[in-house]
Amino acid sequence: MNEDVSNPNEDRPPAYERPSYEPAPPMPNTEHGPLVRPKAIDTAFQASLASTVIGAVSAIFTFLLDGQFVTDMARQVMESPGADQGFTEEQLVNVYRISMVIGIGVFVGLNLLFTYKMRAGRNWARIVLTAFAVIGALSFLSAMASAGAELELMWSLAQAAFGITAVVYMYRKESNAYFLAYKQRRLRR
């Protein structure tokens, strides 16, 4: 064998050497890639927050700031047969107002919890928010049918519209894929 045979790559500069490549990063929403939240989920999140805020503001204006409404409720209770006369009308109005503040706080707190959990990929929160939106829409339609177009119902219309908008975005194709990817990751742990 002839030892004078030379390597054809010996005379080439180092730029011709085969470069070393790093492996590509994993794809988003795959088994090892980062879980990327789609824009539809962010839109559903914002619509759900808007629905919660409108519902809270509506309740505050309707129940707490309308003194006549609360006073009428207290009078109805005091005038009902078998009512305990241990409270004055003013005391009963204050009890109603405190109860309403607590109720509004619980409403806002739970809706925020469900909204943030939905945004984090929890399917159960998506289902609960869907149920709330459907109940809100049905409540609005029922009130509209019985009372006509009153000003107080415009709050309910806005709340129901944002709630239904959130539901539509929560069930889009990319949203469903996001919830499925989150579920699969949790099952693998």
73-112, pLDDT tens digit by residue?
878 877 777 766 677 778 888 888 888 889 999 999 999 9
Report residue 93 as tokens: 């109005």
Q: How far apart are CA 161 and CA 173, in angstroms?
A: 21
Q: What share of the chain in percent tops pLDDT 90?
A: 37
The mean predicted confidence, pLDDT, of the chain is 81
Residue 8: the pLDDT is: 60
- 149 DSSP assignment: S
118 Cβ neighbours under 8 A, 6+ residues apart: 41, 44, 45, 48, 125, 126, 129, 170
User: 61-65, 89-93, 115-119: which has the highest mean pLDDT?
Assistant: 115-119
7 versus 173: the higher-pLDDT residue is 173
> Do 164 and 106 form a contact (C-beta atoms < 8 A)?
no
pLDDT in tens, 30-55: 666 677 889 999 999 999 999 999 98
Q: How confident is the model at residue 166 (pLDDT cuts 50, 70, 90)?
A: very high
Is residue 146 scored above 90 in pLDDT? no
Q: Which long-range contacts (CB under 8 A, 24 or more apart) does 58-64 make?
A: 58/152, 58/155, 58/156, 58/159, 59/100, 59/103, 59/104, 59/107, 60/104, 61/155, 62/152, 62/155, 63/100, 63/104, 64/97, 64/100, 64/101, 64/104
Q: How confident is the model at residue 132 (pLDDT cuts 50, 70, 90)?
A: very high
Residue 97: the pLDDT is: 85
Question: Hey, what amino acid is at 6?
Answer: S
